[in-house]
Structure 1
Amino acid sequence: MPLPPLVEPAQELTPEQEARYARTAQLPGFGTVAQRRLRAARVLVIGAGGLGSAVLPLLASTGFGTIGIVDDDRVEPSNLPRQNIHTPADLGRPKVESAADTLRALDPTIEVRLFAERLTAANASRILSGFDLVLDGSDNFPTRYLVNDAALLAGLPVVWGAVHQTGGQAGLSWAAHGPHYRDLFPQPPEPGSVPSCAEAGALPSECATIGSLMVSEAIKLVTGTGEPLLGRVVVHDALRGAFRELAYERDPVAAPVTALIDYDLFCGVTATVSPAELHARLVAGEPHTLLDVREPWEADVASIPGSLLVPLGVVQRDADGVAARLGDDPLVIVCHHGVRAETARELLAAAGASGVVLAGGIDAWSRDVDPALPRY
């Protein structure tokens, strides 16, 4: 069933705005009042990557009056095929700044708020404050659970999307009116069981498909039109050209969300060392073994000097043999972002070789320690 409109209408549209949004206003049940509601809406977008690049221009051109962008990353060459809000001229720039330029070019009258920082339990309340709804295009499970819980505590709806290789899904979490993300996924998957986009790839057009679904949900929520995806998940398979829908309900025995927690710990992202801490150890000459579990082509692009390259597939086939050859020096395991390294850490720990994961992987090392190292 439709829900009440999320926001009150803004002031009357100017003649220029009426002309701009004339085709939208002609939609049955929409009109200029719905467009004024969009103008009054304040939407926060988590991530200016694949999904964010699809979502953000649509929000701006549709007429959302205030758009916030949260992202602490910079534009890299491998982003460009699926993150078309950025251009080659933006390489090395903060994604929030590149995205903001695109939005302002689409409509210089909208307000764009930038948060060039990673969303954390410490800053989530501050960042979400002042917004009416959240669109979550994050690419990791700790952030997804954090967004859900922070929005739940703030009473905000969250439209979320996810893309994996050639498929994706989208849904709506709003505890005030129905089930939320934890009702659908009470527990995160095992660390390393779901490869990241950097490791598994993502079809660029799938980001656009899921992003479009997310913006449609935002429009419906703000204007009070249509039937929102509350208690439903839309799943898309690009290779089959097929959509399907999954229904779910509130979990009657779920523990209530009363406070924000350590989401890395909740999602099993443990036993890590920061790039700054590892750099300090290396500068001090402390003994170590750096085990790089990426593929050889990745090591050719960028690697930390002195690393031992053993791809994850080798560790999975012979963890005992790899562990036996590592020696007794403290072990630090490296991959692109940390997911494969965590899988290797667990396998090697079971084989008797305990170690830690470089938090954020080689990507974070390049960002925080060695900016001259290529990012991919």
Structure 2
Amino acid sequence: MEFREDQIERYSRHIILKEVGGSGQKKLLQSKVLIIGAGGLGSPVALYLAAAGVGTLALADMDNVDLSNLQRQILHSTKTVGKPKVLSAHETLTDMNPDVRVVPIQERLTAENVTSLFQDYDVIVDGSDNFGTRYVVNDAAFFLKKPLVSGSILRFEGQVVVLEGYRSTPCYRCLYPEAPPPGLVPSCSEAGVLGVLGGTIGTLQAVEVIKIILGLGDVLNDRLLIYDALSMSFRKVRVPKDPNCPLCGKNPSIRTVSGSTDWACSI
């Protein structure tokens, strides 16, 4: 592909980076990323990936924009309250960068449809808010050998990790073998969340996606990055692959995507 003059100007700060250059920008324009959730994490991920020129961005979310979302979900605005999040996101992202093909997926993610939804994308980003969805997303990404960039936020703390269990690095089940009992871990609607925390963690997720697409640097596929906003501190915790993991271990017992999702909301 050849760049148009307006593309050379739009992406000039990428193109002059020797680690990216014209060839790297072309990779971005030809890449396809699926984001689970158009909320507090999906918003900054989508905005920065669209700005970077990721060619196809799909967003899966079945919720409508609520006034309480606007404290952190920066894809949306007061005028889109009541509108499906994926359509609000489509409007915002295409206005930002018409180079980007935005694919709105307004349906519930299930064990039955997740494989078909994922198969055409290069990288999966998880911005969901519950364990059921995270296990289904993790398992589908594992079976399809798709890198999964997972983020989570609650109150004043956030986490980012890249999950590539089909390699020699852990999957989500290595980190969390079982979901905690219902009610033990509160949701954002129950415990609250600092709005800008989504921006911090979502931006870090976007960085990891771009690194994966371009093959740059070291991705967080064997380390969990933990951010504490109150102390303004980052720490990395090395996460080994669990040899007894039922999905990616030596003797797996999980052979197909199963389980249920509880789409309460995107974070």
Q: Report the TM-score, using the length of structure 2 for normalisation.
A: 0.93
Task: Report how far residue 183 of structure 1 moved.
Answer: 1.1
Task: Report how far residue 22 of structure 1 moved.
Answer: 1.0
Residues 299-318 of structure 1 correspond to what in structure 2 (within 5 A)?
A: none
Per-residue CA deviations over 1:250-290 (Å, capped at 9, x if unaligned) read 111222231112235xxxx8xxxxxxxxxxxxxxxxxxxxx
Residue 108 of structure 1 aligns with which residue?
A: 98
Per-residue CA deviations over 1:117-141 (Å, capped at 9, x if unaligned) read 1111111012112111101000111
Residue 222 of structure 2 aligns with which residue?
A: 231
- Partners of 1:24 and 1:242 lie apart in 2 by 29
Query: What is the one-letter code of the residue matched to 2:210?
Result: I
1:263 aligned residue (256, 260, 263): 260
Task: Report how far residue 155 of structure 1 moved.
Answer: 1.1
Residue 328 of structure 1 aligns with which residue?
A: none
Residues 1-376 of structure 1 correspond to what in structure 2 (within 5 A)?
A: 11-177=1-167, 178-255=169-246, 256=252, 257-263=254-260
Per-residue CA deviations over 1:305-355 (Å, capped at 9, x if unaligned) read xxxxxxxxxxxxxxxxxxxxxxxxxxxxxxxx9xxxxxxxxxxxxxxxxxx
- Partners of 1:254 and 1:242 lie apart in 2 by 30
Instruction: Structure 2 unaligned segments of length 5 or more: list them.
Output: 247-251
Which fold has the larger relative contact order, with Cα–Cα distance below 8 Å and residues 6 or more apart in sequence? 2
Matched pairs, number = 258
Query: What is the one-letter code of the residue matched to 2:72?
Result: R
RMSD, matched Cα: 1.5
Instruction: Structure 1 unaligned segments of length 5 or more: list them.
Output: 1-10, 270-336, 338-359, 364-376
Q: Is contact 2:133–2:260 with CA below 8 Å preserved after alignment?
A: yes
Task: Report how far residue 30 of structure 1 moved.
Answer: 1.7
Query: What is the one-letter code of the residue matched to 2:240?
Result: E
Task: Report how far residue 14 of structure 1 moved.
Answer: 2.0
- Partners of 2:183 and 2:143 lie apart in 1 by 29
Please give the secondary structure, in 2, of the residue aligned with 1:168: strand
Q: Report the TM-score, using the length of structure 1 for normalisation.
A: 0.67
Bigger Rg, structure 1 or 2: 1
Per-residue CA deviations over 1:90-148 (Å, capped at 9, x if unaligned) read 01100000001000001112111111011111110121121111010001110011100
Identity of aligned residues (%): 41
